[in-house]
Amino acid sequence: MKFNAKDLALLARRPSGCFDKEGKLKICRVVGDEKLIEPRERWCRLKGNLLFLMKNKNRSLYLVEELITFPSACPSPAPDKIASKKSSEASEVVILERCWIVEFRSKTDVSIVLKFQSGEPDLYIEAASKPDCESWAVALGEANSEGLQNKIQQLRRLIMEIKEERSSDEARQFLPSSQIDSLGEPQFTSIQRIADEPKLEFSLACKDLVAATRDRKLNTFIQVSVVHPAEHILTRYSSTEIVEGTRDPLFLTGVTFPPEYPIYEETKIKLTVYDVKDKSQDTVCTSVLPDHKEPRADVGRSFLGCTTFRVGDLVKSKEQQLTLTLRTSDGGKTVGTIEVNLVKMGELEDGETDHITTDGQDQKCALVRECTTTEGISGKDNLPSLNAVLKNPICKLYRFPTSDNKWMRIREQMAETTLSFHVPKELINLHIKEDMRRNQELKDLGELAPHWDNMRKSVIAHCDQMLSMYQDTLAELGKHTGSSFKSSCSKGEKTLEFIPINLHLQRMHVHSPRLKDALYDVITVGAPAAHFQGFKNGGLRKLLSKFEAERRNTGYQCIYYSPENTAKAKEVLSNINHLQPLISSHADLLLNSASQHSPDSLKNSLKMLSEKTELFVHAFKDQLVRSALLALYTARPGCVLKKPAGPRNSAEEGGDLQHQDHPSQIKRQDSIPHHSEYDEEEWDRVWANVGKSLNCVIAMVDRLLEKDSISNIKEGENDPSAADCNVLHTGGDWYEQLYPLVITLKDCMGEVVTRAKQSMAFVLLQELACGLPQCLMLTLRRDIVFSQALAGLVCGFVIKLHTGLRDQGFLQQLHSVGLLVQYEGLLSTYSEEAGMLEDMAVGISDLQKVMFKVIEAKSEDFLPIITGRREHYIIEVQLPAKMFELLPQEIKEGKLLRMYPVLFNVGINEQQTLAERFGDTTLQENINQENLELLKEYYKLFTEKMPPDCLPHFQEQNDLKGLLENLHQNIQAKKRKNVEIMWLAATICRKLNGVRFTCCKSAKDRTSMSVTLEQCSILRDEHQLHKDFFIRALDCMRRCQQVIKQGFSVKILELRRIFFKYSEGISGAGSDLSSFPLLATQLLKL
């Protein structure tokens, strides 16, 4: 073998950064067991498969040489003495080819021997310490040319396998389509699983792992990669948790592939085992990037071994288990085995062993399966409608030991919801229609005096600007494509301000060997708040209070109406718009029945007409309408004014219009006079005419039916054929006699509608004029917050309805009492988060005015339908026919279902510490106290209308009344960061079949910490999780939650590919348990 001596000498003097490893070693030649000379210290440098033995043993000399020879690589100043060039040269170069390393088994021995196949004397190498010796042994072993050749051969084999698989695909393009179909090559074999269930799930365990050094305790995890048969690209998919201190790790985190994941029997899965050197610095992550090379060793982990298997081999295996051999990357050395166990949630996995402990070395469990026929939690029929709401699920699989040494399986699922965008778009569309209708009503007020007319023009101009903004926002949302949620980094975007932040379903499916399967759902969402508008002046709670005080006390040139009266005016207008077309249609049906001379149809039409007309008349039984008519009359131009009204005192100013007996007592400025010639009884006459007209119609119908009955009896006895002729003859008489009465009814109703609309529109004009532009900005802010809150509520209701569809007790509770919706807030009361909490409190409170209605779907579109107006929305949830038939008759008949939202907030982060020490926590205390009263009201209603046996059977051990009292005491205690409030409120909600929400600023760090702790606590309290495994189970879930939550909020679409390949990416920061010590320690004590 020939070498260029000059090149080798130059290579030996390269800077330190150019070498793979260097250091001081004692070296000598050995023949047999005898050393030819005593070991001599030399500075050794390893580059590739070349080991340079330098003449001098001091590293400083070579650093000096680097300064002289390579000044750009060493920018430090020149030394004061220069070593001779001779002393820095290599005395010997050892070529690491066809050689192997012999390690001594003694724990104290720090030497190795390098043996050569050529018969040359062995090279004795002695290091300064045992770790140094081990690192040199690994470096020399990897530098051996034989090892490199083995790696090259292994890669060549993989390339050939891929080429062979691709060759058939490439040849297919030259075949006719008929031959291609006959070959069936592109058709991969699907995995047959239950609909909407994961396609493949398996658990992992390793045995007899071999460490790089004999005495090292391994901290291992498995990275799972997928080779798709159509793409032949290795994609990192997921990873297990880290198991410390054992060569036989049993991993609690499994691998699951969701229903939509493109996995087939031909798909190959690669399992790579890593040893984490420093867990605190480990970055166990996954990526959608092709797995072209192994991770670098400098990231805190080292490669142990890998193996590959086909999915079809696992699915078709008799034992549903594969035992695979782990090998090094060159495919030569065996480093242990790995067990892959197919998992099905419908089967039991029993661990009959006494070695279930937290010690990693005693984690060997016998996995014996017993097939069971557990009934599914929810039927298959609900999949289409539920899939219309949920999408892109992310699943994680765990197996945890129980207290009786059995295994329970947990499938954790997080899913996006299409409602994040659907509900806000529907709401904005309703806002636009409502505002356009209001603007038209203001224009239809007619002629007004100059003062009021100018006011109207100003209001309409501002309203048109707001209307244009709503229309622009709706247009931008219509252009949105991509993910179906808003990430936390987008919370400040104006075009997305109506969209909730990180709205997701967090579901835990528990399969226990001793208990029935159970589902636990938590909706996670960022706190509903107007982030784009900011919180410089606080949130809605403060802004609304301040605005109302200014309206009451400032001398605006308009009439003051209380918020209650304004809301009443909106309700009257809504009733008019709803009832007037109904009454007209029923009146037409009545005439149609009269023309057909159908007594039964006539009776039914009259009944419906009477009911709607009575509702119509009742809607105007309010002093507000009469007072508003008087105010509108005085605002007309040219009216004769007798004398102005005197000033009102403060006591009168604070009165309620609904309790005033005289219209002249309306609250107004001195500029609004009372006209003495106004006929106060005119409205009563117009309003009463509707009822009188209806009575005339009823009397005429009764008379016609009575005459018809008598006539049929008489003429039928004499001549049946004559009776038939009489029917044809008198049909026209019925229509002719009813027609003028119906027209009169419509005319009277039209007169009432005209006057009532104008009077209520005048009330709304005062509300808008008194607070321009603050009033419209507050309305916008409230719409934004309500939109975010409603999207979450609709999502929670739909999921709860599907989950409890076969629970008759829950369905009875739903229509008899209503649904409890409990929000767990984790916001602090410091700085901007205090404003967020104020927004959130108002938004959740506004949900009390939302009603739900379940209808049968008439098409394949199962998305909810929203109708109504501000402060009065009805959400129509569509169900397929088979599911709709399962509902009680009351719900099927369209009974409106009430919601009872409650919010309990406890700040837990470092900002809350500042608020408690230097700020104010009154806001949080008031919110918790107010919502406690609402919760007590719901419980009282629940106990009055529901039997005691309707509660879940495994939760009867605790007394709800006692829990409420405990919650009351904790709220009154005003203890710092009292997380007991959150736990008690959540427990009460679950016991009352409620919907759970967990919210923080972005539904990311604090939310994931709270949800995982709640899940593990449920497993411990309800499903007998082994007490020694509580912390480890919490770590497993939090590790996955940390990755997933970051993904959903800041890195979602890229990280979704980590688990399921479907998404796009953005970036984010991580969370750490140390950031929440109080939350963790307090809740762990429960």
Question: Which stretches within 344-449 are classed as H helix?
Answer: 383-387, 419-443
> In whole angstroms, what is the distance from residue 318 CA to residue 316 CA?
6
Q: Are 219 and 273 in contact (CB under 8 A)?
A: no
Alpha carbon distance 725, 722 (integer Å): 5
pLDDT computed for residue 370 by the predictor: 30
Output the CA–CA distances (angstroms, integers) from residue 1028 to 71, 220, 1021, in the order listed. Answer: 59, 20, 14
Listed in sequence order, the residues at least 6 apart from 295 whose beta carbon sits closer than 8 Å to its beta carbon are: 274, 301, 303
The residue among 289, 499, 260 whose CA lies nearest residue 391 is 260
195-208 burial code (b ≥16 CB/10 A, e <16): ebbbbbbbbbbbee
Burial per residue of 1020-1046, b for 16 or more beta-carbon CB atoms within 10 angstroms, e otherwise:
bebbbbbeebbebbbbbbbbbbbbbbb
Could you give the CA distance from residue 657 to residue 676 in angstroms, rounded to a whole number?
20
DSSP 332-367: --EEEEEEEEE--TTEEEE---S--SS-GGG-----
Tokens 């034989």 sit at which residue? 146
Cross-strand bridge partners of residue 99: 116
Q: Please, how many CA atoms are within 13 Å of residue 303, restricted to the half-sphere of its CB?
A: 18
Name the CA radius of gyration of the chain, rounded: 40
Can you name the residues that pair with 395 across neighbouring β-strands?
A: 413
Mean pLDDT, 10 residues at a time, the chain of 1086 residues: 74 83 89 78 89 77 51 43 53 85 72 84 88 84 73 67 48 41 57 73 92 80 89 85 90 88 89 79 39 44 88 90 88 87 68 41 34 39 73 88 88 92 96 94 90 91 94 93 86 92 93 84 95 93 90 70 87 87 90 87 89 85 84 78 38 36 35 48 81 89 83 60 44 80 91 89 88 89 97 96 91 95 95 94 96 93 93 94 93 95 93 86 94 95 82 56 92 89 93 94 90 92 89 84 46 31 30 33 32
* pLDDT at residue 104, rounded to an integer: 67
Cβ proximity of 1029 and 401 under 8 Å: yes
In a 10 Å sphere around its CB, with 0-12 CB exposed, 13-18 middle and 19+ buried, how is residue 187 labelled?
Answer: exposed
CA atoms of 179 and 186, how far apart (whole Å): 12
The runs of H, that is alpha helices, within 173-212 are 177-183
pLDDT of residue 689: 87
Please name the amino acid found at residue 118: S
Coil, strand, or helix at residue 952? coil
Assess contact for 93 and 50: CB atoms under 8 A.
yes
Cα distance between residue 836 and residue 838, in whole Å: 5
CA angle 249, 253, 258 (to 5 degrees): 140
Contact 407, 400 (CB under 8 A): yes
Indicate if 1000 belongs to the active site: yes
What's the token pair of residue 752? 């009432």
Q: Which of 365, 463, 770, 1000 is catalytic?
A: 1000
